Amino acid sequence: EAPGMAKNTNMRWRLPLVCLLWEVAMIVLFGVFVRFGAEADAHWEEEKQEMNLTSDMENDFYFRYPSFQDVHVMIFVGFGFLMTFLKRYGFGAVGFNFLLAAFGIQWALLMQGWFHSFKDGKILIGVENLINADFCVGSVCIAFGAILGKTSPIQLLVMTLFQVTLFSVNEYILLNLLHVKDAGGSMTIHTFGAYFGLTVTRILYRPNLEQSKDKQGSVYHSDLFAMIGTLYLWMYWPSFNSAISDHGDAQHRSAINTYCSLAACVLTTMAFSSMLQKKGKLDMVHIQNATLAGGVAVGTSAEMMLTPYGSLIVGSISGIVSTVGYVYFTPFLESRLHIQDTCGIHNLHAMPGLIGGIVGAITAATATEDVYGKEGFIKAFDFTGVYQTRTPSIQGGFQAAGIVVSLLMAFAGGAIVGAILKLPIWGDAAAENCFEDGVYWEVPEDEESDVYHMHNPDKPASP
Amino acid sequence: EAPGMAKNTNMRWRLPLVCLLWEVAMIVLFGVFVRFGAEADAHWEEEKQEMNLTSDMENDFYFRYPSFQDVHVMIFVGFGFLMTFLKRYGFGAVGFNFLLAAFGIQWALLMQGWFHSFKDGKILIGVENLINADFCVGSVCIAFGAILGKTSPIQLLVMTLFQVTLFSVNEYILLNLLHVKDAGGSMTIHTFGAYFGLTVTRILYRPNLEQSKDKQGSVYHSDLFAMIGTLYLWMYWPSFNSAISDHGDAQHRSAINTYCSLAACVLTTMAFSSMLQKKGKLDMVHIQNATLAGGVAVGTSAEMMLTPYGSLIVGSISGIVSTVGYVYFTPFLESRLHIQDTCGIHNLHAMPGLIGGIVGAITAATATEDVYGKEGFIKAFDFTGVYQTRTPSIQGGFQAAGIVVSLLMAFAGGAIVGAILKLPIWGDAAAENCFEDGVYWEVPEDEESDVYHMHNPDKPASP
Amino acid sequence: EAPGMAKNTNMRWRLPLVCLLWEVAMIVLFGVFVRFGAEADAHWEEEKQEMNLTSDMENDFYFRYPSFQDVHVMIFVGFGFLMTFLKRYGFGAVGFNFLLAAFGIQWALLMQGWFHSFKDGKILIGVENLINADFCVGSVCIAFGAILGKTSPIQLLVMTLFQVTLFSVNEYILLNLLHVKDAGGSMTIHTFGAYFGLTVTRILYRPNLEQSKDKQGSVYHSDLFAMIGTLYLWMYWPSFNSAISDHGDAQHRSAINTYCSLAACVLTTMAFSSMLQKKGKLDMVHIQNATLAGGVAVGTSAEMMLTPYGSLIVGSISGIVSTVGYVYFTPFLESRLHIQDTCGIHNLHAMPGLIGGIVGAITAATATEDVYGKEGFIKAFDFTGVYQTRTPSIQGGFQAAGIVVSLLMAFAGGAIVGAILKLPIWGDAAAENCFEDGVYWEVPEDEESDVYHMHNPDKPASP
């Protein structure tokens, strides 16, 4: 793009058109396909008797709803506020994340429903579907992190449509065809989401992005807003990794492993953040992001018998890898590979996601009946039916295959979607207007003039 | 009021007097009336055996406590921070909301207790009472939104006293006399609360309010603080609408319907926010508020078999109505009807509340045994005892009557309470000092001078 | 220290060394000692059958996980953001709290594990251990409040190591040797943590602290950030006090008592905040802190039959004591006793903690079989085994002894740890650089120059 060339970023007809068109499509498709699952349907009163359930507590709602709400907070407040670190893109960070996630969960209910909850021509939904829809959208929020500040809301909606679709296909291949375990989504959510986003941002490479470099940083208060996102992601990650695990010990174990991994990750992140800086000062970018790598890196294995000390080891390593990534890899990716990664998702999701996939494969491959108990072993890996002859080492191999499939889907899908988003019809801003809320948002005047004044001391402030 | 006429806003004796007097009254009344319900009393050990309960899980605490905490967050952080959008009224928004809600829940425990949990001269409370007290106070927080920035804390405490009382009476009429279903409070909380608040603000009309017009807007960071409120309200609304529904499928269903409605509402809000603005830019006021209308609009029907696509339709419509309301109705209400509605509760609570009541009436009127199952049908509408001959269409009629009663109670109650609040003894500020924390709060000096400096560039900043 | 004398605050090697050393130690110790408890282990499938459990719901995870997550939020967001009120120490408040808590929970899992969950050479952990670890760290967060802004991160890590150790010893003495009840930690967490922190800050007395006085205040937005912390602490305190109570009525009752106490506390805090100020204006320091005293003050007695009106009384009193403390005691402690208490933990935790211990002793001493029921009485105070002959009055005596032991441990421990922290090797800042993030953090440039400009109007802002 030529510097200074005006672009038409007026969303007045395009954004409403896309939003309304897709919402109408959702209504029609929900009308045709989506119904309440048995545990949310008023017929459950009768169902309970047929199933000999003596307590309303046996409804899946009570096993999963608290975790669902925690995941919900991670998607909307966690990801949304984590991205408010930019000084002039807080509205876009929170607002566009809100928009894409609200659309994405509807489409994900359908896509995942067709693959996993389809019965007699209907998709039957319950609380587990809501969690899975949030999970799926999580991968879009991750990809959004790579292109934050450089795309129009329409591009984000288009990306969401395609990414949710591809996510669901990839998830189906992993969970159903390869029979892989990935309850916390190291592969399906993080590896796929991050490499998808990195491929998209590579295709959308903007050579003149240094024109908006002054807006790519944070200010003091925006860093504190971002810490709200960080902490909610960090605190609720045990719920994320345990939300769709089997009832009972598996959910319990997932939460403990994740708690341990995340705690360790904070210490190694702080250590390396200080160590890699000449004056030994801590960098908020690392604290905001790398402290979360521990959650990503046990996403596959948390429900397995990873053990608390295993979790500490994985968390420690992922904190180091992620912090080193922010210091050395991100600049390298931008300068050499032309991958402009606004939030550094390569460090927070891509590499820790790969670690998570690998740790999951190893943990599965080394599982024994001794460690899990005879029944626990079968239940943990669902070695029933056609899979009853699978051995741990074979399972480990399939887990590893899951990583490869996720990567391939991400690269191929990202390339295609990136090419679509490159079309000059979506209303993205010129390079000098990136990372600037004023392009798509009504911004309060006073503050704007204040910030303007701050950067232009010779210009008088408006009254 | 004459412009510039000084008013005595010193709270030193009045506010402590009211607070302490009412707290002493609470202590006395709690001492006389309030005791632990069976499930919170230490006698439960014996009660369990009598009732043949085999598990501690059967305690209502485990069915409702997670939802209670979500509702609690909505009342204190959700409403509190949603109202921090004003540039210089953040302390008042969060702090006065905190004050009135903390008082209101105590008084609501008593009022609602007398109506619903009174046994042998005692009010027996449990977690459901806590939720209902929060719900009741929610209606006061809504009314607070209309008069935000224009009243003294004493006026708010007086309003809370009366509004909680009226709320409880109205709720009793609807739930007990009309036998209406309204688990998420479209009528009892939103319609009543909003029209009550709008009536109060009409009575308190301030003709010279344009004198503080420069403080009625937001600044960049205050809009982000408000988004914290928005998102917590949005995320936890499924808990709000399901918190006091019947155990099992009803809670499950309420959460799903609300989740769907809110997701759809975000898309139509974004669409109309962009469409109704010449440059197609999104307005944070709409995103902060209208995105929540979908939760309000399924408040009555969420626990019914509204179905996911029905929820999408209701959510879509309410997002449109609410956004259009902000653009066209709010200015009209102010200029023509002299209703100064600071937060636009007419758009977020009043109209969507009416929609919610109507949708509830229709959903009830069209219910069939086929859709609900024989037992589910009776349980959903509690068609037992004297109500066992009620038909869906009659229920629909009573639901509609509930809307009318709520409106009448709101108008009559609001008029009386507004008249009381108009007395010149409560210490409200002059028009030119509205929307300004400095009137009732110690405000940090530095920032004040900074903001002052911002608006008065010719005046030097204080050292 | 001599004013202006440069101190070496470069953390580059010291902080990484401490972090990594301790994380390695954690990994080794976890590897040797920590394993999953029965309910989190994959063998639970078999265990369930042996124990005749018919439902996965009987897993402790479902009784406590929602409360655990609320407690988790209180530790990391609650305490972290409560301390962001300082204008230039937000990174340190949230970030160092994050660091010390993440380390502390690992060490607490070990220390508390050795005392309470040690079996056949292994520490067996489950969700209750996670809660207790968070509780233990809560006492460190409290102590951090006293020394906020005046210590290096290494000092905080050293303090955490020692304080967690001492906390665990004190807790063991109280719960196991004295057989004291203290589910919400009025004594073990608040009294111990606060007096420990006050002793440490006394030892670390800085005579020249007025040099950084301009940074000891808040700015408008930092006060709003702090309110996020306040509200999450306030809202989730019912979960805090009920998190490790017995299943069933005890958890239910704890939540209700705490809810009532906190509600009353808000009103008396507001009353006294206004009353003690000449112009009757409310002070955000009081609202941010004293409103929470009600939660502290029922920490011991909440699970007992304190009754709702008893809770209102305790909450009312603690709000008054705490607010009066901020106005009169804190300046006195600083000027006369040389106790510099940055956050006023003496008012929020020390005094209310003592009240909590005393109320607990009285409530226990006055317990009767009539009020609790025969079985409820035994269960509530665990009067079984060697304790089956204990009477309420004797229990009350032991409860009182628990307060004394906690105080002695706090003073002795705080003195020793304070002396260690006084060694000139930990990299703390000079007096004039206290309360300043720039010492240990990379701070965004623009804002810094902006703030600088604000305080030095004669100096031009940087472009």
Q: Do A106 and B260 touch (CB under 8 A)?
A: yes
In angstroms, rounded to a whole number, what is the distance separating the alpha carbons of residues A160 and A165?
8
Residue B413 has a pLDDT of 98
Reported as a single tens digit per residue, the pLDDT across B176-220 is 999 999 999 999 999 999 999 999 999 999 999 999 888 999 999
Q: The tokens of C338 are what? A: 């040389």
Q: Residue B368's CB: how many other CB atoms inside 10 A?
A: 9
Question: pLDDT tens string for chain A (463 positions)?
Answer: 444 456 789 998 999 999 999 999 999 999 999 999 999 999 999 999 998 898 999 999 999 999 999 999 999 999 999 999 999 999 999 999 999 999 999 999 999 999 999 999 999 999 999 999 999 999 999 999 999 999 999 999 999 999 999 999 999 999 999 999 999 999 999 999 999 999 999 999 999 999 888 899 999 999 999 999 999 999 999 999 999 999 999 999 999 999 999 999 999 999 999 999 989 999 999 999 999 999 999 999 999 999 999 999 999 999 999 999 999 999 999 999 999 999 999 999 999 999 999 999 999 999 999 999 999 999 999 999 999 999 999 999 999 999 999 999 999 999 999 999 999 999 999 999 999 999 999 999 754 444 433 333 333 433 3
In angstroms, rounded to a whole number, what is the distance separating the alpha carbons of residues C418 and C339?
12
**Closest chain C residue to the Cα of A234, Cα to Cα:** C76
Give the ipTM of the model, two decimals please.
0.95
In angstroms, rounded to a whole number, what is the distance separating the alpha carbons of residues A279 and A272?
13
Q: Do C272 and B16 touch (CB under 8 A)?
A: yes
CA–CA min distance C32, chain B (Å) = 35
Reported as a single tens digit per residue, the pLDDT across C269-321 is 999 999 999 899 999 999 999 999 999 999 999 999 999 999 999 999 999 99
In angstroms, rounded to a whole number, what is the distance separating the alpha carbons of residues B262 and B297?
9
Chain A contact for B290 (CB, 8 A cutoff): no
CA–CA min distance A252, chain C (Å) = 5
Q: The tokens of C371 are what? A: 């009020």
What part of C 81-120 touches B (C-beta under 8 Å)? 87
Residue A7 has a pLDDT of 78
**What subunits touch chain C, counting only 3 or more CB pairs under 8 A?**
A, B
Comparing CB atoms, the residue among B103, B106, B441 nearest residue C281 is B441
CA–CA min distance A17, chain C (Å) = 38
Chain C contact for B459 (CB, 8 A cutoff): no
**Domains of chain A listed by start with CATH number:** 66-421 (1.10.3430.10)
**Closest chain C residue to the Cα of A283, Cα to Cα:** C442
Q: Do C23 and A316 touch (CB under 8 A)?
A: yes
Q: Do B19 and C268 touch (CB under 8 A)?
A: yes
Contacting residues of A for B248, CB less than 8 Å apart: 39, 44-45, 48, 56, 59, 61
Residue among C159, C197, C135 nearest C346 (CA):
C197
Chain A contact for B221 (CB, 8 A cutoff): yes
CA–CA min distance C22, chain A (Å) = 9
Contacting residues of A for B268, CB less than 8 Å apart: 19-20, 23
Mean per-residue pLDDT of chain C = 94
Chain C contact for A192 (CB, 8 A cutoff): no
Q: Do A62 and B63 touch (CB under 8 A)?
A: yes
What are the residues whose beta carbons fall under 8 Å from the beta carbon of B352, sequence distance 6 or more?
B186, B190, B293, B294, B296, B297, B318, B321, B322
What part of C 19-58 touches A (C-beta under 8 Å)? 19-20, 22-23, 26-27, 30-31, 34-36, 39-46, 48, 55-57
Integer CA distances (angstroms), B19 to A30, B365, C265, C275, C322, in order = 51, 46, 11, 11, 16
Question: pLDDT tens string for chain C (463 positions)?
Answer: 444 456 789 998 999 999 999 999 999 999 999 999 999 999 999 999 998 898 999 999 999 999 999 999 999 999 999 999 999 999 999 999 999 999 999 999 999 999 999 999 999 999 999 999 999 999 999 999 999 999 999 999 999 999 999 999 999 999 999 999 999 999 999 999 999 999 999 999 999 999 988 899 999 999 999 999 999 999 999 999 999 999 999 999 999 999 999 999 999 999 999 999 989 999 999 999 999 999 999 999 999 999 999 999 999 999 999 999 999 999 999 999 999 999 999 999 999 999 999 999 999 999 999 999 999 999 999 999 999 999 999 999 999 999 999 999 999 999 999 999 999 999 999 999 999 999 999 999 754 444 433 333 333 433 3
Reported as a single tens digit per residue, the pLDDT across B349-402 is 999 999 999 999 999 999 999 999 999 999 999 999 999 999 999 999 999 999
Residue among C296, C352, C262, C282 nearest C184 (CA):
C296
Chain B contact for A77 (CB, 8 A cutoff): yes
Residue A446 has a pLDDT of 55
pLDDT at residue B292 tops 80: yes
Question: What phi and psi values does residue A385 have, to the nearest 5 degrees?
Answer: 60, -130
Residue environment code for C138-149, b if the CB has 16+ CB neighbours within 10 A, otherwise e? bbbbbbbbbbbb
Contact A75/A122 with Cβ under 8 angstroms?
A: no
CA–CA min distance B26, chain A (Å) = 33
Residue B6 has a pLDDT of 61
The pTM assigned to this predicted structure is: 0.95
Chain C contact for A368 (CB, 8 A cutoff): no
CA–CA min distance B381, chain A (Å) = 11
**Closest chain A residue to the Cα of C74, Cα to Cα:** A235
Tokens 């916390």 sit on residue: A184
Q: Do B19 and C271 touch (CB under 8 A)?
A: yes
CA–CA min distance C100, chain B (Å) = 26
Residue C54 has a pLDDT of 86
Contacting residues of A for B371, CB less than 8 Å apart: 42
What pLDDT band is residue B447 in, cutting at 50, 70 and 90? Answer: very low
pLDDT at residue B1 tops 50: no
**Sheet hosting strand C118-119, strand order edge to edge:** C34-36, C122-125, C118-119
Residue A278 has a pLDDT of 87
Chain C contact for B457 (CB, 8 A cutoff): no
Chain A contact for B13 (CB, 8 A cutoff): no
